Amino acid sequence: MKEKEANTAHKRVFSDRERTNMLRKGEQRLILFLLKKVPDWITPNIMTGIGMFGSLIVFSAFILGSFYSRNNLLIGILGLIINWLGDSLDGRLAYYRKIARKWYGFALDIVMDWLSIILIGLGYYFYASGTTQIFAFLFVVLYGWSMIISQLRYKITGFYQIDSGYLGPTELRVIISFILIIETLIAGSITYFAIAVTLLLWVINIIDTLKLLKAGDAKDREEKE
């Protein structure tokens, strides 16, 4: 009986999107566990605000790391955890409580995700020095490109997917956390990681764009039949 209820809850909470990321199974189990613990007075919109607050913490960590000790970058890991909590639970909480507003939530989620990426990129811009600041700009642009791909894929295929293969927002947060830790140990290493992440996002976006164009072509042929 409990297993049936758990399966029903899982389908209700995660049915609106297809996930392929590496950590999805453990992440979804954790989300379901946390949803049961969220107090009634906390609404999905409050969770969205919590996610944005996490992004502000990451931004602040870069600022503190720039003007004071780079050890302050570790505060950014806490910010990423808080960002994950708010970003992962806001829409899921609405579906869990059966109060979802699909298009309102969809629009709010996209806008807040974009603002979060801008904050994180801006924080790194202030932390970086000289010409390496360009990677902050490229990170925001490339992540924005991936978001556009997700929206277009949804329009063409009807399936909303925020992951690119095994890599999703959660994995990206883990990677950024790892980079922050290494930077506190080895000053300047963040530049090389920024280059690597930029190249990775660029390659992923190229591949996903080609897949998107292929899906669009298939959709055109289907509509002509």
How confident is the model at residue 159, as a pLDDT?
A: 82
CB–CB of 112/87 below 8 Å? yes
Angle between helical axes of 2-14 and 24-37 (0-180°, round to 10) = 100
Binning pLDDT at 50, 70 and 90, where does residue 17 land? confident
Residue 167 confidence (pLDDT) above 90: no
Binning pLDDT at 50, 70 and 90, where does residue 5 land? low
Binning pLDDT at 50, 70 and 90, where does residue 2 land? low
Q: What is the DSSP code (8-state) at residue 158?
A: S
Long-range contacts of 43-47 (CB under 8 A, 24+ apart): 43/93, 44/90, 44/91, 44/93, 44/94, 44/99, 44/105, 45/90, 45/108, 47/85, 47/86, 47/89, 47/90, 47/93
Binning pLDDT at 50, 70 and 90, where does residue 39 land? very high
Binning pLDDT at 50, 70 and 90, where does residue 91 land? confident
Q: What percent of the chain has pLDDT over 90?
A: 72
Domain 2-224, architecture per CATH: Up-down Bundle (1.20)
